[in-house]
A and B are shown apart, each in its own frame.
Chain A
Amino acid sequence: MARALEKYIRPGVKATPFCPGCGHGILMGLILRAIDDLKMDMKKMLFVSGIGCAAWIPSPHYNGDTLHTLHGRALAFATGAKLYNPDLCVMVVSGDGDLSSIGGNHLIHAARRNIDLKVICANNMIYGMTGGQVASTTPRGSKTSTTGEGNPYRPFDLCKLVEGAGATYVARFSVTQPVSLIDSIKKAILHTGFSFIEVLSPCPTQFGRRNRLDRPDEMMKDLIRRCILEQEAEGLTEEERAEKIITGEFLS
């Protein structure tokens, strides 16, 4: 199976750049599986990313056109390319900090315009590349290199944010739910309009080690335990629900 995806990797790329235990490598493979299932023509695919760990998922690894842009601006660059050449299938793969913090304004406006962009937001809930600082997606109470006593603020619910702004396909899955996630990426590719998938991806190096989840398998198990479907959450008390992450398709 792994060799079957090799044709989607740019010649000359030798290894993934991610830390041991990072979920981004899994996501990198799952996107390619979705592309492979749909028999997409990589020559017509443009992958746009910003700055940060997740921005390296497509750039330069994917063997289509890749545009590695400035921090936060991936969606604005992608908007220009898609509008001028509507034949391109434009996928934006970037991180939570890039898309929702420094690029937050572009995110809500791209969603509002409902431009046909496939946005995959790899959410590791922290700034990984710069050393583990608090993000707009860090859960309240989590320790980071800039919130030693725990994050005092609540995080964005990215799916609700983009749905409110006008996105027309919205889903959240974890890299620990690969089958559902591949299916969701395929739906996003086939959907016409602004599609957004929040993908939870563990960062043991920067997030886990400060929050008693410093072994990669512990972070994976934690995600498996916490990610539940909306209907599974129905019978839970508010307290039980608070520590869960609701996954699934919210708008399709």
Chain B
Amino acid sequence: MPFRWVKSPFPKGTYYFSGNEAAAEGAIAAGCRFYAGYPITPSSELMERMAVRLKEVGGVFIQMEDEIASISAVIGASWAGAKAMTATSGPGFSLMQESIGYAAFTETPGVIVDVQRAGPCTGQATKVGSGDIMQAKWGSHGDYQVIALSPWSSQEMYDLTLRAFNLSEQYRVPAMVMADEAIGHLRETIRVAPKVEVWDRKKKRGTASFDIKEEDGVPPMAAFGEGERLSVTGSTHDAYGFRKTDDPEVHARLVGRINKKILNHKRSIIETEDYLLEDAEIAVIAYGFTARTSLYAVKRLRKEGKNIGMLRLKTLWPFPDERVAEVGKKVNRIMVPEMNLGQVAGEIKKCVPCDVISLTQTNGEVIEPEFLIETLKKI
């Protein structure tokens, strides 16, 4: 099997880490040995830690000239055999989109940590937001899938960055950790286990790198210099990487497969968490930092006798539509608090028959518990 247990490179124990630092450690634990990035608030601490840590573990660190170069170098390194990553925030994430499409279409593993700030545009560099959720899925042109995870603590910056690498390697797809400024800069204790489960990409000598015959829809991936004489292109290509830019069948099959290989494995990719949902009449569906606020509010309102629960989305893409639909069938109303103008609420509305109330806030601040409690009391 392509997964194995390895000793954690960071000694087991409890540490006091910011989210950004924890994400760097999660990446190192996953086997990341290449980082290319460009400074941007509020993600820079992640890059600074990677500069130090990759030197210690014998990896490669480079600060590139911009975010386009950063993600492009990540893709180049990935094809040279590296587990590779970059981190950024909104403006850099926007610049990376064309290359993210390239990675999706050429089935190149790689991890992008987006420490979201208040956008659009330069917005508020040091303030929080979660306005990049739709961009993560739809930012590049054409139809493709990505994997996007949503951490709510320093611990999960470690765990989900590690998981993002594993999923990215397993499915040969760019994986994103959609953090936000509040999580990136939050300092709290995290626990590092003595061993971590790590996935490595499948290899099979002499096999086409874009073949479709593999059972799981994920072809094996050789690296440059292994003598496989790879042909990699962002144009439409056949199983061997030959450009086929005027064959309707090849194009339809390729686009179909890169989407299906993710959607067919939705159940293994998607993770959600239920809180007090068993008898709930109202469900709060939340993710990222806002899920912390939401859980506090839900617990307080429970004490006051309100039948309320919470569904936390740890995976944002592929969207957890089945779980959301199940919750939607049981409850009367769903409230979706978000630090954007209802990006995930819109997705939830597609899956459920009940009322969906979108609670939005785009002022660069986290949603306060008292505000959420007062709003929930009214419904």
Q: Which residues of A come within 8 Å of B, CB atoms?
A: 10, 12, 42-44, 46, 48, 59-60, 63-70, 73, 76-85, 87-88, 105-106, 109
**Ranked 8 nearest A-B pairs via Cβ:** A80-B76, A80-B73, A76-B72, A77-B76, A80-B77, A68-B233, A76-B69, A81-B76
Q: A12-B242, A80-B74, A109-B65 are in contact. Are A70 and B98 (CB under 8 A)?
A: yes
Any chain A CB within 8 A of the CB of B81?
Answer: yes
For A42, A44, A68, the residue with the greatest tally of chain B CB atoms inside 10 Å of its CB is A68
Question: Which of chain A's residues has its CB closest to B73's CB?
Answer: A80
User: How far is it, in angstroms, between the C-alpha of A83 and the C-alpha of B82 when the chains are bound?
Assistant: 10
A10 contact set on B, CB distance < 8 A: 229, 231
B residues contacting the other copy or chain, number (CB 8 A): 42
User: How far is it, in angstroms, between the C-alpha of A182 and the C-alpha of B312 when the chains are bound?
Assistant: 62
Task: State whether A81 touches B224 (Cβ < 8 A).
Answer: yes
Convert B52-94 into 0s and 1s, putting 1 for each residue whose CB lies closer than 8 angstroms to a CB of A.
0000000010101110111011111111111010000000000
**What are 29 A-B interface contacts by the 8 Å CB criterion?**
A12-B240, A44-B225, A60-B233, A63-B229, A65-B225, A65-B229, A66-B230, A66-B232, A67-B76, A69-B72, A69-B102, A76-B76, A77-B76, A79-B36, A79-B69, A80-B36, A80-B62, A80-B75, A80-B76, A80-B77, A80-B82, A83-B60, A84-B34, A84-B82, A84-B84, A85-B80, A106-B65, A106-B69, A109-B65
* Chain B nearest Cβ from A100, distance in angstroms: 15
Task: State whether B76 touches A43 (Cβ < 8 A).
Answer: no
For B36, B77, B99, the residue with the greatest tally of chain A CB atoms inside 10 Å of its CB is B77
* Chain A nearest Cβ from B160, distance in angstroms: 24
User: How far is it, in angstroms, between the C-alpha of A59 and the C-alpha of B98 when the chains are bound?
Assistant: 20
For A46, A77, A78, the residue with the greatest tally of chain B CB atoms inside 10 Å of its CB is A77
A67 contact set on B, CB distance < 8 A: 76, 79, 224, 230, 232
User: How far is it, in angstroms, between the C-alpha of A105 and the C-alpha of B68 when the chains are bound?
Assistant: 10
Task: State whether A76 touches B68 (Cβ < 8 A).
Answer: yes
Q: A81-B80, A83-B60 are in contact. Are A70 and B65 (CB under 8 A)?
A: no
* Chain A nearest Cβ from B120, distance in angstroms: 24
Task: State whether A68 touches B243 (Cβ < 8 A).
Answer: yes
Q: Which residues of B come within 8 Å of A, CB atoms?
A: 33-34, 36, 60, 62, 64-66, 68-70, 72-82, 84, 98-99, 102, 223-225, 227-235, 240-243
B69 contact set on A, CB distance < 8 A: 73, 76, 79, 105-106, 109
* Chain A nearest Cβ from B39, distance in angstroms: 15
Task: State whether B73 touches A43 (Cβ < 8 A).
Answer: no
User: How far is it, in angstroms, between the C-alpha of A80 and the C-alpha of B79 when the chains are bound?
Assistant: 9
Q: A46-B225, A68-B243, A88-B224 are in contact. Are A80 and B84 (CB under 8 A)?
A: yes
* Chain B nearest Cβ from A40, distance in angstroms: 13
Task: State whether A70 touches B102 (Cβ < 8 A).
Answer: yes
* Chain A nearest Cβ from B287, distance in angstroms: 31
Partner of B65, one of A48, A59, A105: A105
* Chain A nearest Cβ from B245, distance in angstroms: 11
Q: A12-B242, A46-B225, A105-B66 are in contact. Are A80 and B99 (CB under 8 A)?
A: no
* Chain A nearest Cβ from B366, distance in angstroms: 35
* Chain B nearest Cβ from A49, distance in angstroms: 9
A60 contact set on B, CB distance < 8 A: 231, 233, 241-243
B81 contact set on A, CB distance < 8 A: 84-85
B77 contact set on A, CB distance < 8 A: 80-81, 83-84
Q: A60-B242, A76-B76 are in contact. Are A65 and B224 (CB under 8 A)?
A: yes
Task: State whether B68 touches A73 (Cβ < 8 A).
Answer: yes
* Chain A nearest Cβ from B219, distance in angstroms: 16
A70 contact set on B, CB distance < 8 A: 72, 98-99, 102, 234
